[in-house]
Amino acid sequence: MEYVFVVQKHEASRLHYDFRLQVQGVLKSWAVPKGPSLAPSVKRLAVLVEDHPPEYRDFEGTIAEGEYGAGVVMIWDEGTVEWDAGKDPVEMFGAGLLEFELRGRKLKGRFKLVQTKMNGDARNWLLVKRRDDDAEEKDDLLSREPNSARTGRTMEQIAADAPGA
């Protein structure tokens, strides 16, 4: 079975990146305030949020005012995820350590999500790029690749397509 991932750039009350990994028919989701990085020295806070249905990975557009998550959503990256050989993602999630390889348009190579329980909160994880051939020393991926992986549009262009815009 092929598993998918998506990273949605989301301008809601604050700009953040929704990092979503397919696990057992749902998208496990983390809000990453500063976005993902290809630099192994950078550890990004990733706050576990509610699971989303797999169909949500195709959403790029504007969530209407008054709706949960209101704001502009971009498919910043997407692709497939391969879990570390012989490891069950459900068991890894339960143990607080997910190790995987991403094959996306922007995010490539090995990553891990580590539950920190920072400040006693089990929702707090760290998203970390592992050292491999796809790792970069400079943390400039977000500025270098700001547009949609699917449509090439900017956040402003997506917002302009909203009804009533």
Q: Is residue 156 helix, strand or coil?
A: helix
C-alpha to C-alpha distance for 62 and 159, rounded to whole angstroms? 6
**Dmax of the chain from CA atoms?**
50
C-alpha to C-alpha distance for 103 and 107, rounded to whole angstroms? 7
C-alpha to C-alpha distance for 111 and 107, rounded to whole angstroms? 9
For residue 38, what pLDDT is reported? 98
For residue 153, what pLDDT is reported? 97
For residue 119, what pLDDT is reported? 76
Average pLDDT over residues 117-127: 87
Average pLDDT over residues 31-50: 97
Residue 29 zone, left/alpha/beta (φ > 0; ψ -120 to 50; rest): beta
Average pLDDT over residues 42-69: 94
For residue 42, what pLDDT is reported? 97
Q: pLDDT band at residue 1, thresholds of 50, 70 and 90?
A: low
Question: For residues 103, 104, 105 and 111, what is the CA-based torsion angle, rounded to 10 degrees?
Answer: -90
pTM of this structure: 0.94
